[in-house]
Amino acid sequence: MPREIRLNAFDMACIGHIQQGMWTHPRDRSVEYASLDYWMDLARTLERGLFDGLFLADVVGVYDVLGGRPDAAIRNAVQIPLLDPLLLVPAMAAVTRHLGFGVTCNLTYEAPPLFARRMATLDHLTRGRIGWNIVTGYLDSAARAMGLPKQMAHDDRYAAAEAFMDRVYALWEGSWADDAVLRDRAAGLYADPARVRDVAGGGPFLVEPSPQRTPVLYQAGASDRGRAFAARHAECVFVNYGRPADIARLTADLRARAAPRPIRIFAGATLIVGRTRAEAEDLLAEYRRHASVEGALAHAAASLGIDFDRFGMDEPIEVAATDAISSNVEAMRRVFGPGWTKRQLVDQFVLGSRQRPIVGSAAEVAEALIGFAEAADVDGFNLARTVMPEGIEAVVDLLVPALQERGAYKRGHGEGTYRERLFGAGPRLAAPHPAAAHRR
Ligand SMILES: Cc1cc2nc3c(=O)[nH]c(=O)nc-3n(C[C@H](O)[C@H](O)[C@H](O)COP(=O)(O)O)c2cc1C
């Protein structure tokens, strides 16, 4: 029997997320991103496809590394305009019962009590279906937007994140005892003050215990420091798609570092699924005509921290360590060798990013994912969008049945909170996770 594959949709409250330019396709609906109907339709589709979750990325600055200006990003709608992802969740939760929501929030510019309250509110409103992708950002533009000269250095960001986690665990797990809430109408006693304690001298947490308390924790750092952080805090880890052998080394290292805690690992992937191979290839050809090289370059420049306008097409790109996503820079070196060029990068762009699509009939894509999951030891995939909504509908209507026929996909929703469905254990984090140490 193949292993069970889990699916997340990887999206963002914007027009151009990963595959840049797709919005120019006449059937694409992503320009409706600012309407609730768009997100509620997506949530219903994912629930029908028995997806574990909708994962929403986020940044809080603009992509202005290419040419030192945001023009290319603005022209191509590359993660700008961009809405606040947390605010989309209640509407989607209202039209679903099972779908989880993994929302990215950059902790660097957040006050722990306010952030902890927003997440706990969503955990209540979704009945325990909220997750948080812990990020510290990779954009100097975000720091400048907050009135700072530049972002903190890569490893310092992780150190700050450790301190932040300690604060929010204390709020979520440590302030209210399980039996603090009495709701005793006859006695006029809502909660027992002896069972609600101050956190770090700041008074009690404002939110009464939610189903999961701490949201399901996601993280995507792949550098050495990032892995150490993931091993300590993350329950789910995102890794970029790549050669299975490279991913297998990363997943083995992450699992060994996190042990005995189990972690769920999702690989990013872009799929083009057709009824037949020919249909999928036709779709690829059609989508490709809409891919934006300029948009992809603006995105890559910001996430790698390299201004590609400074390099000719065939000039070797030699850069010192950047403060952006260092694991992405390492991946470029690994794949192309030192002295890789802009031409090699641009040649990678098929649909509008470095993530090359897996293209085929439902059966072929199912086999490819099953083989990849086994070889790379991942639990599932984080599917970047192509043309919306037809790209995700093809996954739900064609690929999911093909995976089910092969015994590699669930046939019904699990029960309970997001955490319970991901791990088959309780709704709350348990020891040895550091959050559990804050529990009363
Ligand atoms: C699949 C994936 C998704 C990510 N999504 C976001 C995001 O939405 N927002 C963000 O600020 N960073 C995001 N990141 C960046 C990571 O959170 C992290 O900051 C980055 O990988 C740098 O850490 P590293 O050098 O340890 O890999 C993502 C990274 C990966 C690999």
pLDDT at residue 31, rounded to an integer: 98
The two structure tokens encoding residue 151 = 């972002």
**DSSP strand pairing (264-274 vs 53-57):** unpaired
Query: Do residues 400 and 363 lie in contact, with contact meaning Cβ atoms separated by under 8 Å?
Result: no
The two structure tokens encoding residue 293 = 């090289």
CA of 363 to the centre of ligand 1 (A): 31
For residue 121, tell me if it sits in a domain: yes
238 Cα nearest atom in ligand 1: 1
Residue segments in the chain with a per-residue pLDDT below the cut of 50: none
CA dihedral for 412, 417, 422, 423, sign (positive or negative)? negative
Q: What is the CATH number of the domain that holds 153?
A: 3.20.20.30
CA of 325 to the centre of ligand 1 (A): 7
The domain in which residue 416 lies consists of: 6-438
pLDDT at residue 323, rounded to an integer: 67
- Cα 248 to the chain's mean position, in Å? 20
Query: Do residues 419 and 425 lie in contact, with contact meaning Cβ atoms separated by under 8 Å?
Result: yes
pLDDT at residue 376, rounded to an integer: 97
- The label of the residue with tokens 């739900």 reads 396
For residue 1, tell me if it sits in a domain: no
Return the exposure string of 328-361: e unless at least 16 CB atoms fall within 10 Å of the residue's CB, then b: bbebbeeebeeebbbebbeebbbbbbbbebbbbb
Q: How would DSSP label each residue in 27-72?
A: T--GGGTTSHHHHHHHHHHHHHTT-SEEEEE--SS----GGGSSHH
Report residues whose beta carbon is within 6 angstroms of any ligand 1 atom: 57-59, 104, 106, 135-138, 220-223, 225-226, 238, 240, 268, 325-327
106 Cα nearest atom in ligand 1: 11
Q: How many domains does the chain contain in total?
A: 1
CA distance 238 to 230: 10
Ligand 1 pocket test: pick from 58, 304, 325, 382 the residue with the most ligand atoms within 8 Å of its Cβ: 325
pLDDT, one tens digit per residue, over 287-324 is: 999 999 999 999 999 998 899 999 999 999 877 666 66
CA of 326 to the centre of ligand 1 (A): 10
Query: Do residues 238 and 268 lie in contact, with contact meaning Cβ atoms separated by under 8 Å?
Result: yes
Q: In terms of Cα–Cα distance, which of 269, 321, 378 is closest to 3? A: 378
> Hey, what's the torsion of the CAs at 375, 378, 384, 390, to 10 degrees?
80
For residue 50, tell me if it sits in a domain: yes
Q: Is 267 helix (H, G, I), strand (E, B) or coil?
A: strand
214 is in an annotated binding site: no
Q: Is 365 helix (H, G, I), strand (E, B) or coil?
A: helix
CA of 300 to the centre of ligand 1 (A): 13
Q: Is 296 helix (H, G, I), strand (E, B) or coil?
A: helix
Angle between helices 154-169 and 224-233 (to 10 degrees): 10
CA of 355 to the centre of ligand 1 (A): 15
104 is in an annotated binding site: yes
Query: Do residues 126 and 139 lie in contact, with contact meaning Cβ atoms separated by under 8 Å?
Result: no
For residue 122, tell me if it sits in a domain: yes
For residue 194, tell me if it sits in a domain: yes
227 Cα nearest atom in ligand 1: 26
Q: How would DSSP label each residue in 88-129?
A: GHHHHHHT-SS-EEEEEEEGGG--HHHHHHHHHHHHHHTTS-
409 is in an annotated binding site: no
